[in-house]
Amino acid sequence: MTTEPLAAPIRLSRRRFAGGDRAFHGLVIVSAAVVVVALAATAIFLVRESWPALRHYGFWSFLGSSRWAPSEAVATRVDPNPYGIVQFVYGSVIVSAIAMVVAVPISIAVALFITDIGPRAARRWLASLVDLLAAIPSVVYGFWGIFAFIPAFKPIGDWLERTLGSVPGVDVVFKGPFFGVSYLVAGLVLAIMVIPIVTALCREVFLQAPRAEKEGAYALGATRWEVLSTIVVARSWSGIFGASVLGFGRAIGETIAVTMVIGNNVLSINWSILSQGSTMPTVIANEFTESVEPFHLEALFVVAMWLLIITFIVNVIGRAVVARAARNVR
Amino acid sequence: MAAQPVPLGGRTGGRLRRRKATDLVFTAILGIVVLVVVALLLWILFYVAKQGLKLFSWGFLTETPPAFPGDKGGGFANGIVGSGIIVGLATVISVPIGLLAAIYLAEYGRGRAAYSIRFLTDVMTGIPTIVLGAFVYSLIVIRWGFSAYAGAVALALLMLPLIIRSSEEMLHLVPAELREASLALGVGKARTTVSIVLPAALSGIITGVMLAVARALGETAPLLLTALGNDLFMETNPSHRMSALSLQIFNNAITGFKESQERAWAGALTLVGIALLLTILARLLGRRRIQMMSG
């Protein structure tokens, strides 16, 4: 009975603790849900804003044309749809594909050098240097692209036009005239921008290669190259694939650097990588705040919606592959 | 010389030599590729420095642009202040939410729900920033007009997943014994997390936040659709349209005026300088933390 007065405050404080715990638990759950809500809201708002255009012209009609001519839009006319977006999808895909073809082999090489080859003291520095490429802002890449990269690359582009541009079969891809700003230059600038991303992901994958197998191979007299190619890289293909998919997703969404070096032709589809074009993000950036024609802004939201759909799918695939690869290696 | 392997006959010796030659060739190729990448980085940095230093001065940091874009001189003070305000607001929005979400993932989340949120957070880092800008346009700008607040929300959406994932990793690095000791003393889970786990991971979390800030500072595309820019005068009211350093670089770079482009280069040098400084500081801070935890 003498403990009675003591028991009360203890019980009280425990209840207060439990209450605080519950409140905090609720708070962290709500915060974590913000990401889910933001993603869902992004999708909902983009569909809502593009709805008038989708209803007016028909959902698929935007993918049925490669002519984007807002000045021809008449509010009452439904056909033809003046807001064809196929050329933007083509531009996004071709520019990102060029970027990946260049960046993935380079990234694999750099990642291997950092994880297995370079002098131990230099590895950390090299990794930081490559990471610095990711710290340079997009607008600076574009600016540098116009004034430093294009003049340096112009002779190579002219040479490609002169040689491959007249070979039957591939001439469609390398047809001139080449003015500097082009899909090819945009792809190459993008390649530099995604190298640090793909390299960092590849490094993680390579580091997980089984140590025992590597040491065993060395003990059997394998050269370093044999160990790297038969064990490290051979075990990492799915991880490399995942890293490439994520890099591809990043390249597709890149806006400012690309818009500065691609030429921004929206009127038609140009198959040649030496010609000027547009990508899905660049047309949004260029016309968004100047859209005055009927359904113009709504059509730009249609582009944004498709861009969200494409990048969402690409990223889901890339993340899933990377996660599975990490689990399999271990 | 003593450790030379003895060739077991001409054929094997030739094969060994060929294997060693292949090894050497590939090592050399990888080394050259690394040199090319480093050279590219240096090319970009030196080119920006060379062009930017022509105009960069104290006046560039403290003056606004001239009324006519073809005039010489002037600076990007309004853009620098604007970037500070917009990114500052974005940090204020994204850090608390990001930190709490990271605490959920690291300390509370179990099973499917946590896995899904972690996965979606990763996916969100890959959503193009221009799409986030379009979203914020439809969410805020349509009703209230272009503003620094809208720009801040767009940048916060970009920073959020970065902060969540880096903070979560740092929280995972805190030894479980610390939590157990605290819980064993009768301290509640919330209190343990806030006053034991969080301080232990703090410098790592700050590293992640600094990297996210550096990333947000360089963003241009979402701001085009939200903060819009204002090249004429110093604007400090966040409910008005506002300039940012990145926007000013973009707008001045694509005009035909040489004088504008000179300002844009000095702006690019400023932006690259700030971004690199933040990135390097963050890495040094992160490295010290790793040494402390392992040593």
Please name the residue of chain A whose CA is at the shortest distance from the CA of residue B103. Answer: A28
pLDDT at residue A329, rounded to an integer:
58
DSSP 8-state code for residue A209: S
For A189-238, write each residue's pLDDT tens digit: 999 999 999 999 999 999 988 889 999 999 999 999 999 999 999 889 99
pLDDT at residue B11, rounded to an integer:
54
pLDDT at residue B1, rounded to an integer:
44
Whether B168 has its CB under 8 Å from any CB of chain A: the answer is: no
Please name the residue of chain B whose CA is at the shortest distance from the CA of residue A142. Answer: B250
Show the tokens assigned to A208. 């997980």
Task: State phi, psi for A83 to the nearest 5 degrees.
Answer: -110, 60
**B58: which residues sit within 8 A by CB, 6+ positions away?**
none
Q: Verify whether the Cβ–Cβ distance B34 to A118 is below 8 Å.
A: yes
**Closest C-alpha to A285, from A133, A98, A88:** A88
Distance CA A133, CA A260 (A): 19
Q: Computed from CA positions of residues B37, A108, A187, B251, in that sequence, does the dihedral angle turn out positive or negative? A: negative
pLDDT at residue B170, rounded to an integer:
94
Q: Verify whether the Cβ–Cβ distance B190 to A128 is below 8 Å.
A: no
In this predicted model, which residue has the larger pLDDT, A49 or B292? Answer: A49
Q: Judge contact between B84 and B294, C-beta under 8 A.
A: no
**Closest C-alpha to A100, from A311, A255, A250, A213:** A250
CA distances from A1 to A10, A35, A182 (A): 16, 54, 89
For B16-75, write each residue's pLDDT tens digit: 899 999 999 999 999 999 999 999 999 999 999 999 999 999 999 999 999 888 898 899
- CB contacts < 8 A, A to B, total 259
Distance CA B243, CA A180 (A): 30
Please name the residue of chain B whose CA is at the shortest distance from the CA of residue A35. Answer: B121
Q: Judge contact between A299 and A62, C-beta under 8 A.
A: yes
Q: Which chain B residues are closer than 8 Å to A110 by Cβ?
A: 30, 33-34, 37
pLDDT at residue A8, rounded to an integer:
47
DSSP 8-state code for residue A228: I
Spell out a b/e string for B60-93, using b for 16 or more CB atoms within 10 Å of the CB, else e: beebbbeeebeeeebbbbbbbbbbebbbebbbeb
Task: State phi, psi for A69 to the nearest 5 degrees.
Answer: -140, 80
Q: Verify whether the Cβ–Cβ distance A113 to B33 is below 8 Å.
A: yes
Q: Judge contact between A213 and A151, C-beta under 8 A.
A: no
Spell out a b/e string for A132-163, using b for 16 or more CB atoms within 10 Å of the CB, else e: bbbbbbbbbbbbbbbbbbbeebeeebbebbee
For B188-199, write each residue's pLDDT tens digit: 899 999 999 999
Spell out a b/e string for B155-191, using b for 16 or more CB atoms within 10 Å of the CB, else e: bbbbbbbbbbbbbbbbbeebeeeebeebeeeebbbbb
Please name the residue of chain B whose CA is at the shortest distance from the CA of residue A14. Answer: B188
In chain B, the N- to C-terminal Cα span, in Å, equals 41
Q: How close A18 gets to chain B, by Cα (Å)?
A: 7
Show the tokens assigned to A92. 């996004």
Prior bond of A70 cis (ω within 30°): no
Q: Which chain B residues are closer than 8 Å to A304 by Cβ?
A: 130-131, 134
For A21-74, write each residue's pLDDT tens digit: 899 999 999 999 999 999 999 999 999 999 999 999 999 999 999 999 999 998
Q: Judge contact between A325 and A238, C-beta under 8 A.
A: yes
* Most B CBs within 10 Å, among A14, A30, A35, to test the B interface: A35
For B222-232, write each residue's pLDDT tens digit: 999 999 998 88
Distance CA A158, CA A177 (A): 8
The answer, yes or no, to whether residue A16 has pLDDT greater than 70, is no
Of A113, A226, A260, nearest to B34 by CB-CB distance is A113
Q: Judge contact between B166 and B192, C-beta under 8 A.
A: no
Distance CA B145, CA A96 (A): 34
Residue B99: CB atoms within 10 Å: 22
Distance CA A118, CA B34 (A): 10
Please name the residue of chain B whose CA is at the shortest distance from the CA of residue A118. Answer: B31
Q: How close A140 gets to chain B, by Cα (Å)?
A: 6
Mean local confidence (pLDDT), A141-148: 97
**B283: which residues sit within 8 A by CB, 6+ positions away?**
A128, A131, B207
The answer, yes or no, to whether residue B134 has pLDDT greater than 70, is yes
* Cα Rg of chain A (Å, integer): 26
Banded model confidence at residue A323, pLDDT cuts 50, 70, 90 = confident
pLDDT at residue A15, rounded to an integer:
55
Question: Mean of the per-residue pLDDT values for chain A?
Answer: 91
Question: Which residues numbered 33-92 in B keep a CB inside 8 Å of some CB on A?
Answer: 33-34, 36-38, 40-41, 43-45, 47-48, 51
Q: Computed from CA positions of residues A279, A154, A193, A288, in that sequence, does the dihedral angle turn out positive or negative? A: negative
pLDDT at residue A2, rounded to an integer:
47
Helix (H) or strand (E) holding A51: helix A4-57
CA distances from B261 to A263, A321, B65, B167 (A): 18, 44, 12, 39
For B178-219, write each residue's pLDDT tens digit: 999 999 998 989 999 999 999 999 999 999 999 999 999 999
Question: Which residues numbered 223-242 in B keep a CB inside 8 Å of some CB on A?
Answer: 224-225, 228
Q: Verify whether the Cβ–Cβ distance B131 to A304 is below 8 Å.
A: yes
The answer, yes or no, to whether residue A4 has pLDDT greater than 60, is no
Of B37, B47, B160, nearest to A110 by CB-CB distance is B37
The answer, yes or no, to whether residue A253 has pLDDT greater than 60, is yes
Banded model confidence at residue A168, pLDDT cuts 50, 70, 90 = confident
pLDDT at residue B292, rounded to an integer:
56
Whether B214 has its CB under 8 Å from any CB of chain A: the answer is: yes
**B261: which residues sit within 8 A by CB, 6+ positions away?**
B252, B253, B255
% of residues, chain A, pLDDT over 90 = 77
CA distances from A187 to A101, A254, A266 (A): 9, 11, 18
Show the tokens assigned to A274. 């030496």
pLDDT at residue B49, rounded to an integer:
97
Banded model confidence at residue B295, pLDDT cuts 50, 70, 90 = very low
Partner residues linked to B242 by β-bridges:
B228
Please name the residue of chain A whose CA is at the shortest distance from the CA of residue B189. Answer: A21
* Cα Rg of chain B (Å, integer): 25
Q: Verify whether the Cβ–Cβ distance A288 to B160 is below 8 Å.
A: no
Q: Judge contact between A179 and A263, C-beta under 8 A.
A: yes
Q: Computed from CA positions of residues A174, A194, A311, A287, in that sequence, does the dihedral angle turn out positive or negative? A: negative
DSSP labels for B203-260? HHHHHHHHHHHHHHHH--HHHHTTTB---SS----TTS-B--HHHHHHHHHTSS-HHH
* Most A CBs within 10 Å, among B32, B219, B220, to test the A interface: B220
Q: Verify whether the Cβ–Cβ distance B160 to A34 is below 8 Å.
A: yes
pLDDT at residue A1, rounded to an integer:
45
Q: Verify whether the Cβ–Cβ distance B160 to A36 is below 8 Å.
A: no
Task: State phi, psi for A277 to the nearest 5 degrees.
Answer: -155, -160
Q: What angle do CA B184, B188, B189 make, to 5 degrees?
A: 95
For A74-133, write each residue's pLDDT tens digit: 888 888 899 999 999 999 999 999 999 999 999 999 999 999 998 888 898 999 999 999
